[in-house]
């Protein structure tokens, strides 16, 4: 479990490590989480032009590189809290993948997160491109740790509804 105890938390970010993914806010979110939860591991899954700079600035974070297939699924499945403050998404596969893995997602209220996350029910939303509100959403998520089992189950249920049966049902 990435070096955390049984009661520890794994905060995870999965995406390309590039400027358009709002990586500095991921680091701020990780720091805020570490202030509240001392037994936490913060993991970046992905690769890209920002990785070397991030590794140098944050040697306490874990950088697992790009993952695919079963390895990617295992990385998601090991997580608890999904940090995703990107402001350049369209559909946002990583959000639905995190939800399918039963993670508690924190994202901006637009694109795929707006469509699939119900604030404080199956994840947490922040006002689009509002850094202070995003960090407040992270704080709300961390302060509701006791509710995570229900939030995680609801996130998983939402993702399960995204198969063809759920899509057809939406049009019925």
In the predicted model, what is the mean pLDDT of residues 113-118?
Answer: 94
In the predicted model, what is the mean pLDDT of residues 10-35?
Answer: 95
pLDDT at 165 over 90: no
State residue 1's pLDDT score.
62
State residue 92's pLDDT score.
72
> Is 19 or 44 the better-scoring residue by pLDDT?
44
pLDDT at 155 over 80: yes
Please say whether the beta carbons of 77 and 103 come within 8 A: no
**DSSP one-letter string for the chain:** -TT--TT-EEEEEES--SGGG-HHHHHHHHHHHHHH-SSEEEEEE--STTHHHHHHH-TTSEEEE---HHHHHHHHHH-SEEEE--SS-SS-HHHHHHHHTT-EEEEESSHHHHHH--BTTTBEEE-TT-HHHHHHHHHHHHHTGGGHHHHHHHHHHHHHTTSHHHHHHHH-
């Amino acid at each position: 479990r990435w070096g955390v105890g049984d009661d520890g938390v794994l905060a995870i970010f999965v995406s390309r490590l590039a400027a358009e993914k709002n990586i500095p806010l991921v680091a701020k979110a990780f720091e805020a989480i570490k202030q509240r939860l001392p037994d936490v591991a913060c993991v970046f899954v992905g690769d890209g032009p920002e990785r070397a700079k991030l590794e140098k600035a944050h040697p306490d974070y874990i950088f697992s590189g790009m993952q695919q297939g079963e390895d990617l699924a295992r990385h998601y499945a090991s997580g608890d809290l999904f940090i995703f403050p990107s402001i350049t998404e369209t559909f946002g596969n990583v959000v639905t993948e995190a939800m399918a893995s039963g993670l508690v997602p924190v994202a901006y209220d637009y694109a795929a997160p707006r469509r699939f996350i119900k604030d404080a029910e199956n994840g947490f939303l922040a006002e689009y491109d509002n850094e202070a509100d995003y960090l407040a959403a992270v704080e709300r998520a961390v302060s509701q740790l006791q509710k995570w089992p229900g939030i995680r189950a609801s996130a998983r249920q939402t993702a399960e509804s995204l198969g063809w049966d759920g899509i057809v049902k939406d049009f019925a």
